[in-house]
Amino acid sequence: MCVFRGCPGTNNMNCTNRGLCNQLEQTCFCDSKWKGLACELPNCEGTPDCNAQGDCILVDGEGHCECYEGWIGPACNVECIQGTQDPDYPSLCVCEPCYSGDKCDIQCSGQGSCIDSACVCESNYKGDDCSELNCPGEPDCLERGSCVLRDDTALCLCGAGLLEITAVQSYVLGTTVQWQWFVGFSQACKESLKTSN
């Protein structure tokens, strides 16, 4: 008569009652939420557990990842540099003040510095996150032109009909006379962009 010794386990239970026992080979086939020789360890998402960016802990009888700083998500596979995990959406990084981007890694839109949890913008930028160009007039360009960045300077471009030819010059190229037209802001454009004090 053969006597089977069973499989490893705790509390005299084969495979800790968390898997199937192959009695011939005395090995366990663990349920998906467990691992180890005796199915005694929680099995967390990620390979290895928690993608080696967190600890696999037992919560309510199941393995859950407790992520290290800078990582979030059920498997600790989402980088979150200057933020925290959204409790309702575990893979969403909620940024700290001054930071933006999927990983909360962009400070003041790249156009300023964070001082006392507030952005201090470079001269050509404004807004809570320094994402807006800072052109003259309030609102920008007095709504009579477009605010653009040219040669590292925020300036107003007048709307249609507010440009004029400021000079005409001719020159000879080979045997042909060429004309060059210079366009600049008309007086109406300049006047339209003046701010009243």
Nearest to 137 by CA among 128, 126, 129, 151: 126
Q: In angstroms, rounded to a whole number, what is the distance separating the alpha carbons of residues 175 and 51?
A: 73
Cα separations (Å) of 131 from 9, 100, 106, 112? Answer: 59, 11, 11, 9
Handedness of CA 30, 35, 41, 44 (dihedral sign): negative
CB 17 within 8 A of CB 7: no
Q: Where residue 39 falls among pLDDT bands split at 50, 70, 90?
A: very high
Mean pLDDT of 82-99: 92
Q: Does the pTM of the predicted model rise above 0.85?
A: no
| pLDDT over 50 (residue 166) | no
Cα separations (Å) of 25 from 3, 4, 7, 15, 74? Answer: 13, 10, 8, 13, 34
114: which strand partners? 119
| pLDDT over 70 (residue 121) | yes
| pLDDT over 90 (residue 162) | no
Q: What is the mean pLDDT of the chain?
A: 82
Percent of the chain with pLDDT over 90: 49
More confident residue, 161 or 112: 112
